[in-house]
């Protein structure tokens, strides 16, 4: 037992030299707890009562190390926007604990924005309040939508200003994931000629996180392909664009990690680009499945001494099947199609085409299916075509049980304007209540909340053109 009743283990450090650098967090500013997530705390058997202990803000703000754990920054490399970027690593994140819960699960505790590391390159090691709130809310939102993700535990304000395009308030995010190992970890040792370390890393990952597959590297890679395909299928179904699918931002466990300029779509546009810095649209919404496969190929190359070429290719070839099955299941659920009938795929495809032409709101296009007037309103001048599609859907589902629709089609989606509302409230007015309200809406996105109805809407005209970029 360590501080706050946590059971800590220096598990990642067993990988040995070349995988990390030990260093303490920088004590930046004066830590003040802005918000903490009780659901996330429970994952590491942390009693949410500790949130009111001032030592909690100090620990999660990087001022008070957790006893029994030697903090470290991880080393990894990666392909950024399709180009080999060489060594990257945790430039502003620090692993400050690995907690073993009563169920036997291991959870990394990382602080993001707790100072410079040997991997900071030109960066300042800091995080701004804006991106910290964005990651905090989005990881809660995705978890509630049943999408694998890292979890945010807390936001601590540092009280210091951070230089970006303008001066911005600084913050430290504490986040949890079973592991923060990335595809880029494998690329790092492989492309730096340390091929024996690829096996060390694979054994480490399989031993802790895929124990059933011990000794079978091919089956393990197949599982990574499957998880990645399922992850991206879930993003596509819910209308989430990650924004920076570089290989260093791809979790080996198939989790959503490293929230940056992500976006939930408002009007449906398959070529939606959420990252203002992505001029070519490499990470446009519709490209995400292909990019995931590209990234898996980069990972496969690093495993070429552990797994035969044929087995690697077989696993990669399965991506499309896994993706298709997972995507289809999620989309069918969104339309209430339980029984398999001929023409179902076309029904789904025609809806998407219609929404794209009408630029209809993606989330409301599912939520309002059972409210004909509200649904038709989404399609503006295309109402006639929309009406014809709706008649087909109504005929197709007349014998389906539609009571489950409300449990798969979220009412409260973390649209950009909603996240921005939380950010402005905290930054401009120290208004934590609005952040708390939005947090509670997105963590229970299917439950109607009378006070929150305004946040279910598409962006008001004043907040249509918010831009997000890699600068965070």
DSSP 330-360: HHHHHHT--S--TTHHHHHHHHHHHHHHHT-
CB-wise, 144 or 162, nearer to ligand AMP?
A: 162
Contact window for ligand AMP (CB under 6 A) among 101-109, 241-249, 424-432, 448-456: 241-249
Report the alpha-carbon distance of residue 378 to residue 272 in Å, rounded.
Answer: 18
Q: CB of 277 within 8 A of CB of 227?
A: no
Binding flag, residue 258, ligand AMP (CB under 6 A): yes
Nearer to Mg ion, 249 or 295 (CB): 249
Binder of residue 89, out of ligand AMP, Mg ion, none (CB less than 5 to 8 A by kind): ligand AMP
Q: Which residue has the tokens 């690829």?
A: 198
- Report how far apart, in Å, the C-alpha atoms of 236 and of each of 122, 131, 154, 158, 270 are: 34, 23, 28, 36, 10
Binder among 62, 97, 170, 260 for ligand AMP (CB under 6 A): 260
Structure tokens at 287: 């490209």
51 vs 259 by CB, closer to ligand AMP: 259
Half-sphere exposure of 362 (CA within 13 A, CB side): 24
**Interaction between residue 243 and ligand AMP (CB under 6 A):** no
Active site residues: 248
Binding of residue 89 to ligand AMP (CB under 6 A): yes
Question: In angstroms, what is the minimal distance from the CB of 164 to ligand AMP?
Answer: 9
Is residue 278 a contact residue for ligand AMP (CB under 6 A)? no
Span near ligand AMP by CB under 6 A; candidates 86-94, 318-326, 411-419, 438-446: 86-94
Residue with smaller CB distance to Mg ion, 108 or 258: 258
Q: Tokens 């896994």 label which residue?
A: 322
Q: Does 431 bind ligand AMP (CB under 6 A)?
A: no
Q: Minimal distance in Å, beta carbon 170 to ligand AMP? A: 10
- Measured CA to CA in angstroms, residue 302 lies from 78, 184, 227, 296, 439 at distances of 12, 10, 18, 10, 39
Residue 120 lies near ligand AMP (rule: CB under 6 A) = yes
Interface residue list for Mg ion (CB under 5 A): 249, 258
Residue recorded with tokens 């519709």? 286
Considering only 56-64, 123-131, 301-309, 394-402, which stretch makes contact with ligand AMP by CB under 6 A?
Answer: 123-131
Residue 445 binds which one of Mg ion, ligand AMP, none, with CB within 5 to 8 A depending on kind? none
Contact flags string 194-233 toward ligand AMP, x per CB under 6 A? ----------------------------------------
Say if residues 365 and 355 touch (Cβ distance below 8 Å).
yes
239 is an interface residue for ligand AMP by CB under 6 A: no
Q: What is the DSSP string of 275-325?
A: BTT-TT-TT-GGGHHHHHHHHHHHHHHHTTTTS-HHHHHHHHHHHHHHHHH
Q: Which of 53, 105, 124, 216 binds ligand AMP (CB under 6 A)?
A: 124
Pick the binder of ligand AMP from 92, 185, 188, 204 (CB under 6 A). Answer: 92
CA 120 centroid distance within chain: 22
Tokens of 463: 């907040």
- 125, 239, 289, 452: residue in contact with ligand AMP (rule CB under 6 A): 125
Angle between helices 344-358 and 383-396 (to 10 degrees): 160
Beta carbons of 177 and 205 less than 8 angstroms apart:
no
Name the site residues for ligand AMP (rule: CB under 6 A): 88-92, 119-120, 123-126, 244, 246, 249, 258, 260
């Amino acid at each position: 037992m360590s501080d706050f009743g946590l059971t800590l283990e220096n598990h990642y450090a067993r990988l040995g030299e070349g995988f990390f650098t030990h260093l303490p967090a920088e004590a930046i500013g004066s830590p003040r707890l802005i918000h903490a997530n009780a659901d996330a705390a429970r994952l590491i058997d942390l009693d949410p009562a500790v949130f009111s202990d001032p030592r909690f803000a100090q620990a999660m703000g990087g001022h008070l190390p957790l006893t029994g754990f030697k903090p470290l920054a991880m080393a990894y490399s990666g392909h950024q926007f399709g180009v080999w970027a060489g060594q990257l690593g945790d430039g502003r994140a620090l692993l400050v604990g690995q907690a073993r819960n009563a169920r036997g699960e291991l959870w990394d505790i990382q602080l993001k924005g707790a100072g410079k590391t040997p991997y900071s390159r030109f960066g300042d090691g800091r995080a701004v309040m804006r991106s910290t709130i964005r990651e905090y809310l989005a990881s809660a939102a995705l978890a509630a939508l049943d999408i694998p993700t890292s979890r945010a535990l807390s936001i601590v304000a540092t009280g210091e200003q951070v230089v970006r395009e303008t001066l911005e308030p600084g913050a430290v995010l504490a986040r949890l994931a079973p592991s923060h190992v990335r595809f880029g970890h494998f690329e790092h040792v492989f492309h730096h000629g340390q091929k024996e370390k690829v096996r060390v890393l694979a054994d480490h990952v399989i031993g802790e996180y895929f124990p059933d597959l011990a000794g079978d590297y091919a089956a393990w890679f197949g599982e990574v392909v499957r998880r990645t395909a399922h992850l991206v299928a879930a993003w596509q179904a819910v209308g989430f664009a990650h924004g920076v699918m570089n290989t260093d931002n791809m979790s080996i466990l198939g989790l959503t990690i490293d929230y940056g300029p992500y976006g939930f779509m408002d009007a449906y546009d398959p070529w939606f680009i959420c990252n203002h810095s992505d001029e070519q649209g490499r990470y446009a919404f519709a490209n995400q499945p292909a990019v995931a496969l590209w990234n898996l190929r980069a990972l496969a190359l690093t495993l070429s001494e552990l797994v035969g070429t044929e087995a690697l290719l077989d696993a990669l070839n399965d991506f499309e099947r896994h993706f298709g099955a997972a995507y289809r299941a999620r989309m069918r659920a969104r339309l209430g199609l339980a029984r398999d009938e001929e023409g179902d795929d076309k029904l789904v495809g025609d809806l998407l085409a219609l929404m794209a032409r009408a630029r209809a709101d993606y989330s409301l296009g599912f939520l309002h299916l059972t409210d004909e007037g509200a649904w038709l309103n989404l399609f503006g001048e295309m109402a006639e075509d929309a009406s014809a599609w709706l008649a087909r859907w109504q005929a197709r589902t007349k014998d389906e049980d539609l009571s489950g629709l409300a449990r798969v089609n979220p009412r409260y989606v973390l649209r950009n304007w909603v996240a921005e509302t939380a950010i402005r409230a905290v930054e401009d007015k120290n208004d934590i209540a609005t952040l708390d309200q939005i947090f509670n809406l997105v963590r229970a996105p299917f439950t109607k909340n009378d006070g929150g109805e305004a946040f279910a809407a598409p962006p008001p005209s004043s907040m249509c053109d918010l831009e997000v970029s890699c600068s965070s």
